């Protein structure tokens, strides 16, 4: 089904269309070129035919007029010869000559002799009526009598032969008197002229007319027109239009045209020499068009034949192009069918015989193999990635720490389970919200998470959870940078410190109770002395109650002892009291003294020398005094434990640069082994049999809580020095 879709949408349609396209393009091209040629040649052809017609018209009219005029002049020559050989005195001879001529020249339809009075004397053939008539009205009689020269008459129907003919009249002139003695006439029948014209029709298919100067048609292609038809034409010639009469007066010969039924008629004319007549030759353009139409239909059938030939040829050409492509498509289809199964086994598929196609097929197969390998690799990669993702998701989900990821747009992208547990905010409520919104919800300062800040932020903070409860957290905010050191995201790790804080608190209390236990025996011992003194003083007072001086002295001594006791108890209680941590501006001097007095009995017991070096102008520091005293007590306690009898403990307090206060507590005890120095602040780390390893852990926590720092320097067997540093106010 899948294949069908691809095939229907693509390849097959492509092949199909190519099959149509190639022949279509070839046919269109052929058609265009044929039609273009046809158009051009049609134009040339019609022009040429037109010219041919005009030329032929001219030739026909020239030759016909020449032939007619030659014919008439020959005829005239014959009649003149006859006239020269006639002697009017010898009538018999005249008759004989006339008979001879009539028989000898078959084209003469009548020969006669006419007297100067216009009477026919003898005629061959004869007709009785002619002898009674006089022919004074005949144009040839009048011309010959007047001009005394030969004359070729107009056409008229002769009274002897009753046929239209031209009369050639020649005078017989007396050489002495120069008088006309008679006229010899010879009739040339119109038939003869017609015969000449008919001869022209053998090579010409237009119309030929012979007209006289009155435009009367003597010979016409239409039969029996004589005496009925005057030819009327309005001929365009040399840019003018004139009728045939004007034409005959203006030109000897020429060519023009006139309109007839919306088509052009080409006309040529030629005056006949020695005769008042004209040959008109004309041809209608319609006949050309008819001719062209014949050619056109022939052309169309040729075109049809050519086009079908081209169609067959181009289809086979298209086939020869398309078939290999089809083969290629089939081949590629087979390969593609196997691409996710076993493309390597497609070697068996037969390759095409055509070398180019074979090459294409091979390269396609190679490509498919490459593709297959890529697909396999990609699938593997995808699987690995999926697993990795799952793994990461699991880590994120099960991570004890809250993981919050802020994306490139400053929006929350990941808010894992632990983060939800710590903050009480649901993932779906915060994901895609801005980091500022998150900070606001948590009650953290704005701008803590910023895409502009490339440095990590690390520290303990207090956030408000959704129930508005304060939660101590450890936050690490680190930007994720790309290769160009641009921030792509920010990862925030959130660790809930509630339990740790509780633990710390517990440890602090435990440490304190422990110290209290240790201190109490010393205190009891300490109380012993003042109490014994007081008992003695009271004894003395009992004895001397009367003596005022003694009494006052004793009471004052008693007061001193009570003060000592009081101070001791207050200090002790102070230390044991679980006060709330509260930072105030405090004087380090007092805190150190308070700590020393708590440990006083132990110091005394071991005969330890305390060397105090406290600078008078140290700035106050903002700390929790109770916690701070615990710090000093714990450090001093370790020192007391570290030194032997007569040990020395240096307590040095002084300002440092930047208005800081530095407290150094140094003892000349056993020192700390090098390999242990990193561990001493760890909880439960102790090297002592009776130790619990909480002292320095508590110290460290309190110092950090109060914004200070603590470091240790020591050399085994020589000394140990703790250096505390706090920012002064
Ligand atoms: N002044 C000191 N001299 C030598 N060792 C010390 C000194 N202070 C601390 N230490 C070492 O650090 C350890 C941890 O001290 P601390 O946390 O107070 O626990 P504890 O005192 O219960 O052992 C001690 O066990 C000891 O080994
Ligand atoms: Mg200790």
Out of 686, 694, 724, give the residue to mutate to test ligand 1, the one with the largest number of ligand atoms within 8 Å of its CB.
686
Q: What is the pLDDT of residue 518?
A: 67
Q: Report the C-alpha gap between 437 and 441 in whole angstroms.
A: 6
Percentage above 90 pLDDT, the chain: 25
Ligand nearest to the CA of 692: 1
Taking alpha carbons only, the member of 725, 586, 585 closest to residue 656 is 725
Distance 570 CA to ligand 2 centre (A): 23
Q: What is the pLDDT of residue 670?
A: 95
Domains in the chain with CATH codes: 56-286 (3.30.450.20), 338-390 (no CATH), 399-496 (3.30.450.20), 502-727 (3.30.565.10)
pLDDT surpassing 70 at residue 78: yes
Candidate from 285-289, 339-343, 435-439, 659-663 with smallest mean pLDDT: 339-343
Which is the closest atom of ligand 1 to the Cα of 670?
4
pLDDT surpassing 90 at residue 184: yes
pLDDT surpassing 90 at residue 723: yes
Distance 713 CA to ligand 1 centre (A): 13
pLDDT, tens only, 339-389? 766 666 767 777 777 777 788 878 887 887 788 888 888 888 888 888 888
pLDDT surpassing 80 at residue 287: no
Mean pLDDT for 48-69 is 89
Q: What is the pLDDT of residue 360?
A: 82
Please tell me which of 112-121, 323-332, 504-513 the model is most confident about, judged by mean pLDDT. Answer: 112-121
Nearest CA to ligand 1 atom 8: 638
Residue 434 DSSP one-character state: B
Mean pLDDT for 42-65 is 86
Q: What is the pLDDT of residue 33?
A: 86
Q: What is the pLDDT of residue 5?
A: 41
Q: Which stretches within 118-224 are classed as H helix? A: 129-132, 139-147, 190-201
Q: What is the pLDDT of residue 227?
A: 55
Side by side, the strands of the sheet bearing 412-415 are 412-415, 402-406, 487-496, 470-481, 457-464
Higher pLDDT among residues 672 and 368, named by residue: 672
Number of C-beta neighbours around residue 400 at 10 A? 10
Which is the closest atom of ligand 1 to the Cα of 638?
8
- Residues surrounding ion ligand 2 at CB below 5 Å: 638, 695
Distance 554 CA to ligand 1 centre (A): 45
Mean pLDDT for 658-676 is 94
pLDDT surpassing 70 at residue 10: no
496 by DSSP, 3-state: which? strand
Nearest CA to ligand 1 atom 19: 693
Distance 637 CA to ligand 2 centre (A): 6
Distance of CA 654 to the CA centre of its chain: 76
Provide the token pair at 697.
């852990």
Q: What is the pLDDT of residue 16?
A: 56
Predicted confidence band of residue 574 (pLDDT cuts 50, 70, 90): low
pLDDT surpassing 70 at residue 190: yes
Predicted confidence band of residue 429 (pLDDT cuts 50, 70, 90): very high
Q: What is the pLDDT of residue 9?
A: 42
Distance 572 CA to ligand 1 centre (A): 23
Higher pLDDT among residues 13 and 482, named by residue: 482
Task: Enumerate residues lining ligand 1, CB below 6 A.
Answer: 634, 638-639, 642, 667, 669-672, 680, 685-688, 691-697, 720
As a whole number, the mean pLDDT across the chain is: 84
pLDDT, tens only, 527-550? 767 777 777 778 777 777 777 777
Ligand nearest to the CA of 715: 1
Nearest CA to ligand 1 atom 24: 686
Q: Are 68 and 196 in contact (CB under 8 A)?
A: yes
Provide the token pair at 147.
């001009």
612 by DSSP, 3-state: which? strand
Q: What is the pLDDT of residue 363?
A: 83
Q: What is the pLDDT of residue 671?
A: 96
Distance 702 CA to ligand 2 centre (A): 15
**Token pair 């994720």: residue:** 480
Higher pLDDT among residues 111 and 330, named by residue: 111
Q: Report the C-alpha gap between 236 and 247 in whole angstroms.
A: 10
Burial (CB count <10 Å: 0-12, 13-18, 19+), residue 42: middle
Mean pLDDT for 648-653 is 96
Tell me the β-bridge partners of 184: 113, 170
Orientation angle between helical segments 11-84 and 91-104, nearest 10 degrees: 160
Contacts of 118 (CB under 8 A, 6+ apart): 134, 135, 136, 138, 141
Burial (CB count <10 Å: 0-12, 13-18, 19+), residue 552: exposed
């Amino acid at each position: 089904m899948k294949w069908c879709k691809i095939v229907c949408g693509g390849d097959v349609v492509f092949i199909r269309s190519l099959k149509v396209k190639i022949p279509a393009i070839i046919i269109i091209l052929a058609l265009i070129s044929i039609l273009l040629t046809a158009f051009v040649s049609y134009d040339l052809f019609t022009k040429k035919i037109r010219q041919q017609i005009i030329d032929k018209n001219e030739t026909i009219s020239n030759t016909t007029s020449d032939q007619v005029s030659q014919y008439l002049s020959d005829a005239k020559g014959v009649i003149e010869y006859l006239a020269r050989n006639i002697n009017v005195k010898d009538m018999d001879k005249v008759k004989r000559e006339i008979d001879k001529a009539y028989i000898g020249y078959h084209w003469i339809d009548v020969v006669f002799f006419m007297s100067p009075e216009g009477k026919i004397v003898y005629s061959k053939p004869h007709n009785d009526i002619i002898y009674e008539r006089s022919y004074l009205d005949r144009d040839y009689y009048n011309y010959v009598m007047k001009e005394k020269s030969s004359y070729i008459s107009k056409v008229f129907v002769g009274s002897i032969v009753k046929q239209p003919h031209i009369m050639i009249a020649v005078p017989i002139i007396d050489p002495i008197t120069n008088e006309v003695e008679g006229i010899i006439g010879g009739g040339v029948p119109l038939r003869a002229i017609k015969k000449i014209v008919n001869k022209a029709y053998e090579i010409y298919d237009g119309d030929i007319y012979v007209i006289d100067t009155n435009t009367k048609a003597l010979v016409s292609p239409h039969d029996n027109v004589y005496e009925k038809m005057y030819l009327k034409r309005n001929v365009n010639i040399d840019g003018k239009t004139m009728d045939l009469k004007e034409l005959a007066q203006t030109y000897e010969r020429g060519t023009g045209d006139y309109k007839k039924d919306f088509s052009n008629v080409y006309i040529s004319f030629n005056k006949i020499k020695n005769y008042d007549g004209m040959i008109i030759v004309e041809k209608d353009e319609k006949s050309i068009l008819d001719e062209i139409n014949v050619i056109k239909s022939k052309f169309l059938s040729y075109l049809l034949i050519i086009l079908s030939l081209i169609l067959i040829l181009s289809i086979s050409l298209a086939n020869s192009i398309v078939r290999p492509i089809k083969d290629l498509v089939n081949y590629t289809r087979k390969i593609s069918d196997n691409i996710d199964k076993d493309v390597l086994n497609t070697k068996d598929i037969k390759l095409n015989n055509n070398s180019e196609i074979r090459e294409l097929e091979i390269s396609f197969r190679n490509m498919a193999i490459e593709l297959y390998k890529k697909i396999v690799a990609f699938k593997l990669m995808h699987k690995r990635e999926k697993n990795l993702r799952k793994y990461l998701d699991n880590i994120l989900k099960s991570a004890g720490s809250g993981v919050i990821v802020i994306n490139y747009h400053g929006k929350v992208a990941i808010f894992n389970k632990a983060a939800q547990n710590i903050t009480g905010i649901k993932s779906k409520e915060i994901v895609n919200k801005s980091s500022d919104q998150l900070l606001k919800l948590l009650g953290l300062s704005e701008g803590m998470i910023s895409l502009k800040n490339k440095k990590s932020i690390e520290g303990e903070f207090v956030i408000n959870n959704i129930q508005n409860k304060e939660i101590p957290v450890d936050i690490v905010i680190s930007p994720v940078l790309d290769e160009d050191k641009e921030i792509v995201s920010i990862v925030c790790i959130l660790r809930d410190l509630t339990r740790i804080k509780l633990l710390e608190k517990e440890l602090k209390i435990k440490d304190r109770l422990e110290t209290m236990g240790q201190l109490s025996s010393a205190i009891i011992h300490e109380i012993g002395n003042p109490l014994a003194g007081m008992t003695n003083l009271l004894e003395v007072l009992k004895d001397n109650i009367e003596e005022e001086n003694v009494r006052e002295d004793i009471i004052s001594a008693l007061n001193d002892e009570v003060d000592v006791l009081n101070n001791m108890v207050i200090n002790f209680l102070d230390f044991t009291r679980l006060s709330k941590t509260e930072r105030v501006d405090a004087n380090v001097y007092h805190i150190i003294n308070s700590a020393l007095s708590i440990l006083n009995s132990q110091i005394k017991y071991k005969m330890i020398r305390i060397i105090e070096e406290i600078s008078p102008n140290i700035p106050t520091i903002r700390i929790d005094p109770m916690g701070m005293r615990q710090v000093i007590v714990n450090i001093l306690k370790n020192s007391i434990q570290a030194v032997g009898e007569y040990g020395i403990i240096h307590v040095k307090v002084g300002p440092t640069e930047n208005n800081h206060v530095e407290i150094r507590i140094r003892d000349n005890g056993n020192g700390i082994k090098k390999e242990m120095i990193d561990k001493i602040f760890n909880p439960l780390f102790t090297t002592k049999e009776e130790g619990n390893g909480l002292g320095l852990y508590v110290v460290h926590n309190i110092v950090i809580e109060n914004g200070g720092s603590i470091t240790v320097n020591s050399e085994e067997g020589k000394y140990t020095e703790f250096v505390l540093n706090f920012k002064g106010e």
